[in-house]
Every structure is written in C-alpha cells, then in structure tokens.
Structure 1
Amino acid sequence: MTTDLRPVPGADLRPAPGPGGALDRVVRAGLVRTGPDGERCDLCAAPVPSDHRHLLDESNDALLCLCRACALLFDRDAAARGHYRLVPQRRLRVADLDRDGSDPRALGIPVGLAFVIPGDGGEVRARYPSPIGATRWELEPAAWRRLVARAPMLAGLAPRVEALLANTARGRREFWIVPIDDCYRLVAIVRHTWTGLSGGGRVWPAVDDFFAALPDRSRRGSPLGRAGSPGAAGD
C-alpha cells in the first residue's frame, strides 16, 4: 500500500510479535473492555486511572499497565535495573520530514501509515497498522540512515520505547516521535474500525481523529491510558 492499508510487496503478512501484556490484549481485542472494577496495575494490582502509563518488560517484550505510584518509581532509571523501561510521554512533530518534498517511498516508507522502532544496537523494527494487526516490512538500514540524516532529532529516539510514526495516506504528510503505546493504539483503532475488503467508512475518520488529537496530547504530555477508548485520541 502506498496510501491505504493493504499489504505492500515483501511484507510479512503474519502479525508482528509483541509487545504483549497490556497492549497485546488491545491488539487482539481492538478495544480494552474493563470489568466493573476497572483496570489494575500489572505490578501491584492497584486501580489505574484511564490516563495510566505503560512499562516495557524487556524479558518478554511485553507492555504493562502502571498505577501512578509505580510509574513514579520507574521514572527513575535506577528502579528499572536493566529489566524494565518506562514508556515516555513526549510527542514531537518531526518538521524536517514534514517539509521534505520527496516521495515517502524514497525515504523507505512504502505505506500510508507506518512506524519504526529503533533498537539498542542501531537495528530498527518497521511495522504498519493493517486489518490483521501490526504487519512488518523490512526497512533497509540505508533508508533509516537517510531518515536520520534528514531529521537529526530521530537519533535521540529512546530505543525500544519510542517510534517514528508516519502518516502519508491520502495526501497527508505528518511525521511524529511518539511513545510505542501510541503506535499500538493506532493498530487497535484500525483493526476495530476496518470493515469489508476496502476498510469501509469508519477507518479513515478514526485515523484522522487520532492524528488530529496528537498536537494537544503533545502539549499535555498525556499518557496513553486505555487504547481505543471512546473520546480519546486514538504487534
């Protein structure tokens, strides 16, 4: 796909693995459905607010829901002990890529919606939302280096917990640095709203709403909360 959500040549059509835990449930279900007592912290079982944060458990590449007390604890690197990473809250527009007039495919982005998550050793994981979930495609290392050269701020992405999120579908041109839970929330939105062979009439308005809300979320530094929940900005 270049402007829609159909598979691209060379894409691995199996849903990409991880993160599991909190957002694995979201990706499978499309929406989080909570019981009468609401959601609970995956670490201490305390109730969590709707705008709760997430923690990456590196041992199994799972995202965990956090109450405010646990989020404050893991906001200090020492608390992680090399095992956990608190998912950041920043959302930044990448203006250098917004202004770039070249075809997004020349930047290594062959799809209208895509996100790229860098690793610790310079490797990257490339995914795009699709009706079957987070579908992977191979991003050439040279293509990622071209992106970083055109937008040096990408070199500062927090490995494994921040992503470059690109929206070049239907004439749009938006590039954002976002927390990885935003990316998987968008995956859940696409899966939940997609109907029929072409997507139907709900998927693109939902995607537009997600991106329209990002500027406000970037100002507020709002954590993700329940992915796909009504009224929110929506592997």
Structure 2
Amino acid sequence: MTGSAPALRRILGRRAPPGHGAELLHCELCGAPVADMHRHLLDERSGAPLCVCHPCTVLFDRPAAGGDHYRLIPDRRVRMAPFPTKGLGVPVGLAYLVAQPDGVVVANYPNPLGSTHYEVEPQQWRDVVGQRPELDGLAPTVEAVLINTVHGAEQHWIVPIDDCYRLVAIIRTHWRGLSGGNEVWPAIDAFFDELPRGNRHFGI
C-alpha cells in the first residue's frame, strides 16, 4: 500500500460536475481519457493500481499480456457463505487475504494508518480451501478474500484487490479519534452495501 498512495488519490477522486475545476482521469499507460467507471492494472513492481482506458483493458485481458510487470485486475465479486476465520489467525473483524505467486497467503488489516499484515499458516489456509473450494481459484495478487464480521456482520467475499485499496482509503479518510468516530462505520457499511451491485465508481 505504501507505493500506491498517488494512484489511490486518482482512483478515489470523484469527478466534479463541469465548471468545478476537476481534473479528468487519463489512462496511465496511453494517456487517453478514461470513464468514471473503468478497470485497473496492477503494477506488480510498485504494487500500485493504474487507471486504464477500455482499449488498454482489452489489450491486457489476454493471459501473460503484461509479462511480469502488469496484471489486469479482475472485476468479479463473489459472495461466499460465512466460514470460521479464527483458524486463519484473523484477530479482527475486518480483513482481506491475498495469495502471492509463490502460494503464501497474506492477511491484511485496514486501519487509519493504512494496512498491517502477516502471513497465514499454510495448513490453516489449506483447511479453509477444503471447506470453500471456490477459494482455490483465487487469482494471486489481484484478487482478495474480504471478511467483515464487525457488529455482527457476516460478509465473506472474493473481490478485486482495488476494492480493498478503496476500503483502506475510506477508513483513512473517515476515521476520527481512537475509536473511529461517527463517520467511519456508516462509510464502511455503505462500501459493503455497494458490493452486490458491482459498483465500479471509485468515489467516497
């Protein structure tokens, strides 16, 4: 997350109406204008998501098109049946897990400072995949398992990694004081309310 702050600001910047001086988004590969609802590439060397136009999306939608540099971030969202997370060592109610190319799975905890992380024990992950076979098809680095059990919620999703970046930015933007204040949890709830609709509009 540390290298992606500039890209996150561009992703999260909702365009203002004409006349408000908002800078239009442009494809970070070819420079063409991009629509509000667009896809992203993951720059695997910097870890940053890049806004891309539709032609570049089509170009990188082929396997291995980006070599070891760029990967098109998928746009699928799959809600799963709840499963126990205690065995994964997840000590908080809001976390996302990302598989790495070498098979290591990293758990990340969004917080006001960004995101903290640790490696999940391999056997614990295999046990969970045994219960939820759909996790076996998780795309490394560009998809995540997103878990929300805060305040009695039971949300378990497979989401694009840019959704997780967006969630981190929402928390950083709305968090107040030690406990989060009155703004952050309604903003988090609104984020999860959008997921079933597949909303790709990256404003907060």
One-letter identity of the residue aligned with 2:45: S
- Match in the other structure for 1:127: 108
CA gap of 1:26–1:37, structure 2 versus 1, over 3 A, is closer
TM norm structure 1: 0.77
Q: Distance in 1 between matches of 2:144 and 2:168?
A: 14
1:204 and 1:49 mapped to 2: Cα distance?
29
Q: Which residue does the alignment assign to 1:90? A: 76
Q: Which has the higher contact order (CA 8 A, sep 6+)?
A: 1
How many residues align? The count is 199
**8 A contact 1:53–1:71 mirrored in 2:** yes
Summarize the alignment of residues 66-215 of structure 1 with structure 2, pairs less than 5 Å apart.
66-95=52-81, 98=82, 100=83, 102=84, 104-215=85-196
Greater displacement, 82-91 / 106-115? 106-115
Q: Distance in 2 between matches of 1:49 and 1:150?
A: 39
Report deviation, 1:19.
4.5
Q: Quick one: distance in 1 between partners of 2:5 and 2:140? A: 17
Gaps of 5+ in 1: 1-15, 231-235
Deviation at 1:114, TM superposition (A): 0.3
Equivalent position SS for 2:65? helix
| Contact 1:52/1:66 (8 A) holds in 2 | yes
Give 1:216 shift.
1.3
Q: Aligned ranges for residues 20-35 of structure 1 at < 5 Å? A: 22-23=7-8, 25=9, 31-32=12-13
Given the superposition, is the C-alpha separation of residues 21 and 193 from structure 1 closer, same or farther in structure 2, using an over 3 Å criterion?
Answer: closer
1:39 is paired with a residue whose SS is coil
Q: CA RMSD in A?
A: 2.1
Normalising by structure 2, we get a TM-score of 0.88
Residue in structure 2 matched with residue 58 of structure 1 by the alignment: 44
Q: Distance in 2 between matches of 1:21 and 1:67?
A: 18
Q: 1:18 to 1:122 in 2, by over 3 A?
A: farther
Matched letter for residue 56 of structure 2: C
The alpha-carbon distance between structure 1 residues 78 and 136, as it changes in their structure 2 partners (threshold 3 A), is closer
